Amino acid sequence: MTNLTLKQLRYFEALAREGHFGRAAEACSISQPALSMQVRELEESLGVALVERSARQVRLTALGEDLAQRARLILRSVDELADLARASRSGLVGRFRLGVIPTVAPYLLPSIVSALDRHHAGLDLRVRETQTPRLIADLTEGRLDAAIVALPVSEPALTEVALFREDFVLVRPAAEADLPVPSGEALGTMRLLLLEEGHCFRDQALAFCAMTARPREILDGSSLSTLVHMVSAGFGVTLIPDMAVPVETRSAAVAVARFEEPRPSRTIGMVWRSSSPLDRQLQAIADTVRGAAMQLADLRASAA
């Protein structure tokens, strides 16, 4: 037991989370043999098997499952101790792990990185792009410091700060540019191309159309770029957020139309654990992100 280390716990927790030695090693930025050795040493220190190893998968033993849960609590407490020291400083420096949803990351991240570099010198930004449920899980379990998502997330343990509101626009084939803009109800009768299950943007678009997903009538895409190019090929119509228009429509034969009021829209915000001692610093980060988003919106408006 005297040889038990935080490094071993971190590597074991990553293995428990990923369920695969290779992915766990990648998440920890080390080699697979090094991670495997640390997990093996942890088992030897405890005198018990934590992992059932096979050629194709990794399965935790009953004790391994219990230890993984306890390891997460220990590691989160250790991280919060470090955050207490960081909170005593006027600004946030060092590692900052930020999650961003895929319908925001490609369009806003360059501006965010530039703004954080200008206003928060010494910040070591680490970015994770994935869907909201995974971001919330990573945030709750201490693997992220904050996340940029569509609000509300309605998690009691998280602080939500609104950053900006943006409209959705209609993307349709260029040949349909002069047609009237359909209402939400009319849009629900058309061949609507949407992101696949798991994206909050899909649910928001469906809500505007006052419809539920009907798999035979709605084609699912993995990215906004895929949807726009499917529209360009004449497969249907889609909705995309306003910030995506300059990037996604520049090389596609499509027309962009704006809806009449009340327009479909979303509120983008930043969330973090309410228990974080870095609340003041995270508020400052949120202000910087909000400013970057406003500047980007002004640039889009001036170019329109």
60 within some domain: yes
d(CA 285, CA 171) in angstroms, rounded, equals 33
Both 50 and 195 in one domain: the answer is no
| pLDDT of the residue at 215 | 44
- Mean pLDDT (whole number) for 62-76: 86
Evaluate whether 207 touches 186 at the Cβ level (below 8 Å): no
Task: Name the more confident of 88 and 303.
Answer: 303
Strand, helix or coil for residue 153: coil
CATH of the domain at 138: 3.40.190.290
12-67 pLDDT per residue, tens: 888 888 888 888 888 888 999 999 999 998 988 888 889 988 767 788 888 888 89
1 within some domain: no
User: Residue 220's beta-bridge partner residues?
Assistant: 194
Could you say which of 85, 119, 150 is where a domain stops? 85
Both 139 and 46 in one domain: the answer is no
| pLDDT of the residue at 291 | 95
Task: Name the more confident of 214 and 195.
Answer: 195
| pLDDT of the residue at 55 | 64
DSSP one-letter code for 168: E
Evaluate whether 145 touches 271 at the Cβ level (below 8 Å): no
CATH of the domain at 27: 1.10.10.10
Both 60 and 107 in one domain: the answer is no
Q: How many CA atoms lie within 13 A of 179 on its CB side?
A: 16
d(CA 35, CA 17) in angstroms, rounded, equals 14
Smallest CA-to-CA distance from 129 within 97, 96, 99 is with 99
Alpha helices in 172-222 (DSSP H): 184-187, 200-208
- Mean pLDDT (whole number) for 229-255: 92
Smallest CA-to-CA distance from 268 within 248, 299, 231, 242 is with 242
Smallest CA-to-CA distance from 86 within 95, 99, 73 is with 95
Could you say which of 37, 68, 85 is where a domain stops? 85
| Count, residues in the chain | 304
User: First vs last Cα of the chain: how many Å apart?
Assistant: 65
254 within some domain: yes
Both 154 and 54 in one domain: the answer is no
Both 62 and 204 in one domain: the answer is no
11 within some domain: yes
Could you say which of 85, 118, 152 is where a domain stops? 85
Burial (CB count <10 Å: 0-12, 13-18, 19+), residue 263: middle
What residues make up the domain containing 71?
Answer: 6-85
Whether residue 165 has pLDDT greater than 60: yes
- Mean pLDDT (whole number) for 265-292: 92
| pLDDT of the residue at 169 | 94
Both 134 and 214 in one domain: the answer is yes
243-267 pLDDT per residue, tens: 999 999 998 999 999 998 888 899 9
Q: What angle do CA 200, 205, 208 make, to 5 degrees?
A: 130
Domains in the chain, number: 2
Q: Flag the least confident range among 72-76, 207-211, 226-230, 250-254.
A: 207-211
Both 174 and 243 in one domain: the answer is yes
Evaluate whether 71 touches 64 at the Cβ level (below 8 Å): no
Both 154 and 186 in one domain: the answer is yes
